[in-house]
Amino acid sequence: MLIDAFPAGPLAANCYVAAPGPDAGCVVVDPGQDAAADLDRVLAEHRLRPEAVLLTHGHFDHVWSAAEVADRHGVPAYVHPADRGLLTDPVRGLDPALASQLSALLGGAEPREPRELRELEAGPLRLAGMEIGVEHAPGHTPGSVVFALPGGDAGPETLFTGDLLFAGSIGRTDFPGGDHAEILRSLERVCLRRPDTAEVLPGHGPGTTVGRERAANPFLRDIAAR
């Protein structure tokens, strides 16, 4: 399995590229603001061909380049239906302070949907020769999802958690559509029921593991103590 990543835009949202190996099809997870140039570098370095864009949730810092990337490569983008509206109306998911800064952050560009946008449904996706699990994990946004790559003999399971779980923290729930009780339920169901070896690739910051967060993340310790 080949996974590469880079932070995109002023809010440093992690964009991931996952493929079975070099010289293969790949999926692009969360291409945020100004992601296209770095994405082209990663694709050229590993000789990869995008087959889909996957969105963990609809906040603008994770989806801003989704239409550009998907349309340029002629591939579909996938988003949970509960977050679809955020692709064209990003202010709807922000608090007033950040909403007032959005036009400056985005330089006046108009948000739009990719030409081919598919709504995520229950069950795995088969893309780029990989079976990718999809788990609805609301709380940060109503349509937050986690994408899971199985491990098996090749290594541990890998979770693309978006803004559900970070190293040492969890996603904020004070934006419109956020729900603290809901995100705790999602963390328990989606993350804490997995083995300690599961790799966590979050939407911001460094990677971690379920075991490390189970032991040291105060939010996950509180869930376990209930």
pLDDT in tens, 159-211: 999 999 999 999 999 999 999 999 999 999 999 999 999 999 999 999 999 99
* pLDDT over 70, % of the chain: 97
Q: Which residues, 6 or more positions from 110, have their beta carbon under 8 angstroms from its beta carbon?
A: none
Residue 11 has which token pair?
A: 């809010």
Q: Could you give the residue ranges of the DSSP H alpha helices within 5-152?
A: 36-46, 60-63, 66-73, 96-106
Q: Which residues, 6 or more positions from 198, have their beta carbon under 8 angstroms from its beta carbon?
A: 151, 156, 157, 158, 159, 191, 209, 210, 211
Confidence bin at 154 (pLDDT 50/70/90): low
The predicted pLDDT at position 99 comes to 77
Taken in order 213, 153, 6, 179, the sign of the CA dihedral is negative
pLDDT above 90: residue 36: yes
Task: Calculate mean pLDDT across residues 129-138.
Answer: 97
Q: d(Cα 118, Cα 90) in Å, to the nearest integer?
A: 18
Lowest mean pLDDT among 73-77, 123-127, 143-147: 123-127
Task: Calculate mean pLDDT across residues 62-91.
Answer: 97
What's the pTM?
Answer: 0.95
Burial of 226 by CB count in 10 Å (0-12 exposed, 13-18 middle, 19+ buried)?
A: exposed
If one counts every other C-beta atom within 10 angstroms of the C-beta of residue 167, the result is: 16
7 bridge partner residues: 14
90-117 pLDDT, tens digit each: 988 888 777 777 777 766 678 999 999 9
Q: d(Cα 15, Cα 202) in Å, to the nearest integer?
A: 10
Q: Which residues, 6 or more positions from 145, have their beta carbon under 8 angstroms from its beta carbon?
A: 56, 57, 80, 120, 134, 135, 136, 137, 162
pLDDT above 80: residue 57: yes
